[in-house]
Structure 1
Amino acid sequence: MLEIHGSRRYTGAFAMFFPVFLFFMLVSPNWRPLRIDTKRRIAYFWQFGKFYITRYDERTNPLSALKPDFHHSSLVKPEHAALIISVPHETDPDKTANVDLGIYRPACDFQDQVLREFLTDYMQSLNPDEEFARYFKKEKRLWSDYINFFYHLSLFPTRGYNEKKTEAKIQQWLENNPEIY
């Protein structure tokens, strides 16, 4: 009897578990983006209540402090790799958190290398807000923007940084780690 009605079993399982999958996608929190402060030459972000911060040298390659890595699985082509940077914890520099940058499906081939070059230029710029403003103005929508909208949709509002708490952590870290350049 099961061999005759086997497809109904899979259809029923799909009908039950797909809404559960969507619910878990909706309740998962959005991650906090990496912030780069070019005036103080620091990069920082929060992850699950822990603060990660590092300082970079503007005279050399600034990404060397962030230890960039190009990662791609065996399922995707190398030109679709992700740019992953490591940021150390505020008190324990041996404990690092990895941040992946970019989108999947990539906006262009070798997106990871394009992002690395962009970040290097952005971090070495004297006035990045004016110099790179044209890159942050979106002219048109791509079909992948709609997919990314649903991918990032959450039932919980996106909680931004607590600016006072973040600034206090940055000031404390800067006092404990004076510049040695």
Structure 2
Amino acid sequence: MSLPPPQLISNPTESPEVIEVMNLSITRIDDDTIEIPSFVSDILNAWFKLIFFALILGLGPSYDPGWFTANGEPGIAYEKIHRMFFRESYILDAFAFYEDKSNPGFTPEGESYQQFYVYNIERHGRGIVAGLFFIGIIVIPWILLNLAVGNPYRIDRKRRIIYTWMRGHFVCVHFPPGMSDPLQLIEAHVPRGKQANDPYNMSGPLNIWLPLPHKQKNGLLSIGASCFLNGAMVKYQSYYLRDFLTDYLTNPNPRWLDQLGPKRKPKHVQWYDYLFYRLSRLQLLPQFPFKKRKTEQAIAEFMKNPSSKLYPDYMPYA
């Protein structure tokens, strides 16, 4: 665990510039609930979107029906898909090429069209495998565009819980009232920097431990907004995030909540980091990580016997 760096801004929850940056890591759901993204998931989702654009742009010419080529020839992918759906037209063209002009309807070897057709199907097939392969190459990138791994985390200060869904399992822990540092319960910390010139891990995540009922162990989870290039959106983001979450759970009226809003680019965030932040959230179809009725039922069941304890065993990754 890193010691707090001495150059942190004092009273960050009152600093407009820090609040502007924290707006990327904290989303206000309602008066009593906020949402924090998964640090690792943001990075992975940004990579998925980059792979999507690389595949679409790289494979685009092969799906050209001939509109953009100088000689009007279609791309190989378009040709294979077209051949699968219109296989007989290709055989007709081939038969017309080989047809004996002095004996219409037959090849010079005396084959009729039906014999020629059967021979081509047996020898070259219907092109279904190649056609489906290239259709799959079209579909896979769009799956990547809509793929979002890892759900965000929500903190409900009224019920004093932090919760999420993980692989279909509800994960939740309760913060007992009266704690001056509730995040200590889930051992929230910034991991020690691995580089000698970065002992405070300036771009690292805020790590927490949550009890995973389906594993009967505690899982190490990372929270906060991130981009796939530099990790955290700004230096020391995780230290500030811990302060904000602590203030949210202990202060009955945190004024910075009213300053959260649309996820615009903060002044101190690099434009390319912000671009990848938005890119990781690009979706073809909307995602619903917290289905309202299902989540409320899970919370109600948990609150019948709220647990504020972690498991004795820890696993390195959730």
Is 1:82 aligned to 2:212, yes or no? no
SS in structure 1 opposite 2:217?
A: coil
Relative to the length of structure 2, the TM-score reads 0.44
What displacement does 1:160 show? 3.7
Q: 1:137 to 1:152 in 2, by over 3 A?
A: closer
The residue identity in structure 1 corresponding to 2:191 is H
What displacement does 1:135 show? 3.7
Q: 1:139 to 1:57 in 2, by over 3 A?
A: same
Q: Is the 8 A contact 1:46 1:52 kept in 2?
A: yes
Superposed, which structure 2 residues align to 1:110-149 within 5 Å?
110-128=236-254, 131-138=255-262, 140-142=264-266, 143=271, 144-149=273-278
Q: 1:90 to 1:169 in 2, by over 3 A?
A: farther
SS in structure 1 opposite 2:277?
A: helix
Structure 1: distance between partners of 2:263 and 2:303: 38
Structure 2: distance between partners of 1:111 and 1:173: 31
What corresponds to 2:183 in structure 1? 63
Superposed, which structure 2 residues align to 1:152-163 within 5 Å?
152-163=281-292
In structure 1, runs of 5+ residues without a counterpart are 1-17
Is 1:94 aligned to 2:130, yes or no? no
Superposed, which structure 2 residues align to 1:7-86 within 5 Å?
18-19=54-55, 23=141, 25-60=144-179, 61-71=181-191, 74=194, 77=198, 78-86=201-209
Farther off after superposition, 19-28 or 144-153: 19-28
SS in structure 2 opposite 1:69?
A: coil
What displacement does 1:154 show? 3.0
What displacement does 1:29 show? 1.8
The residue identity in structure 2 corresponding to 1:66 is I
Structure 2: distance between partners of 1:45 and 1:55: 13
The residue identity in structure 2 corresponding to 1:149 is R
Q: Moved runs in structure 1, 4+ residues, more than 6 A?
A: none
The residue identity in structure 2 corresponding to 1:161 is F
* Aligned length, in residue pairs: 162
The residue identity in structure 2 corresponding to 1:168 is Q
The residue identity in structure 1 corresponding to 2:173 is T
Q: Is the 8 A contact 1:89 1:97 kept in 2?
A: no
What displacement does 1:64 show? 1.2
Structure 1: distance between partners of 2:263 and 2:205: 24
SS in structure 2 opposite 1:165?
A: helix
Q: 1:97 to 1:169 in 2, by over 3 A?
A: farther
Structure 2: distance between partners of 1:108 and 1:58: 32
Q: Deviations over 1:70-103 (max 9, x none)?
A: 2367479421111111221357653435232232
Q: Deviations over 1:33-67 (max 9, x none)?
A: 11111111111011221111001134221001221
Structure 2: distance between partners of 1:139 and 1:59: 33
Farther off after superposition, 91-100 or 111-120: 91-100
What displacement does 1:172 show? 1.0
Relative to the length of structure 1, the TM-score reads 0.72
Q: Is the 8 A contact 1:72 1:82 kept in 2?
A: no
Q: Higher relative contact order at CA 8 Å, sep ≥6: structure 1 or structure 2?
A: 2
Identity, % of aligned pairs?
23
Two-structure CA RMSD over aligned residues (Å): 3.3
